[in-house]
C-alpha cells in the first residue's frame, strides 16, 4: 500500500465545549495519511488514475468550515468517515489539532486511524 498525504492543512472553524468558544473562530490543523495504490497513476501519468489530494483537501475544508460539532474527536471522526465514504481510501491516519487550546501548549488534539492497512 502506498500513502498519499496532506500535511499542515490549516482551517478556521467554530469548535469547543464552552459557549464562548462557539462565538469565535479557532484554527485547527490537520495531517492526513491515506492508503492507496499509486501505480495506475504512475503508469498513465493521469490525475484520473490517482487519489486526488486537492479534491480531498477541498472536501475537508468544506467539512471543517461548516462544522457544527463541539469536540475535536467528533470532527476527526466525521472527516475520516467522509473521506473513506467518498474517496477510494481503505485506510487513513488523521491528526486533528486545535491550535492554542491548551494552556502552555501549541495545540491539543487527536490522532485516529481507520480502515485496514495492507
Q: What's the CA dihedral at 14, 111, 17, 69 to 10 degrees?
A: 50
Give the active site residue among 54, 58, 98, 116: 98
Q: From 89, 85, 98, 91, select the one nearest 113 (Cα to Cα).
A: 91
Residue 6, helix vs strand vs coil:
strand
Catalytic residue list contains 58: no
Return the sign of the alpha-carbon dihedral for residues 46, 90, 107, 24.
Answer: positive
d(CA 75, CA 99): 15
Query: Please, what is the angle between helix 72-86 and helix 53-65, to 10°?
Result: 140
- Residues classed as catalytic: 98
Amino acid at each position: 500500500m502506498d500513502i498519499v498525504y496532506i500535511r499542515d492543512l490549516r482551517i478556521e472553524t467554530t469548535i469547543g465545549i464552552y459557549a464562548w468558544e462557539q462565538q469565535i473562530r479557532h484554527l485547527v490543523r490537520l495531517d492526513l495519511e491515506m492508503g492507496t495504490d499509486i501505480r495506475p497513476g504512475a503508469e498513465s501519468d493521469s490525475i484520473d488514475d490517482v487519489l486526488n489530494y486537492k479534491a480531498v483537501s477541498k472536501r475537508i475544508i468544506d467539512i471543517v468550515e461548516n462544522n457544527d460539532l463541539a469536540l475535536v474527536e467528533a470532527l476527526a471522526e466525521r472527516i475520516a468517515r467522509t473521506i473513506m465514504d467518498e474517496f477510494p481510501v481503505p485506510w487513513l491516519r488523521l491528526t486533528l489539532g486545535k491550535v492554542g487550546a491548551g494552556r502552555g501548549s501549541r495545540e491539543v488534539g487527536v490522532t485516529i486511524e481507520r480502515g485496514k492497512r495492507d
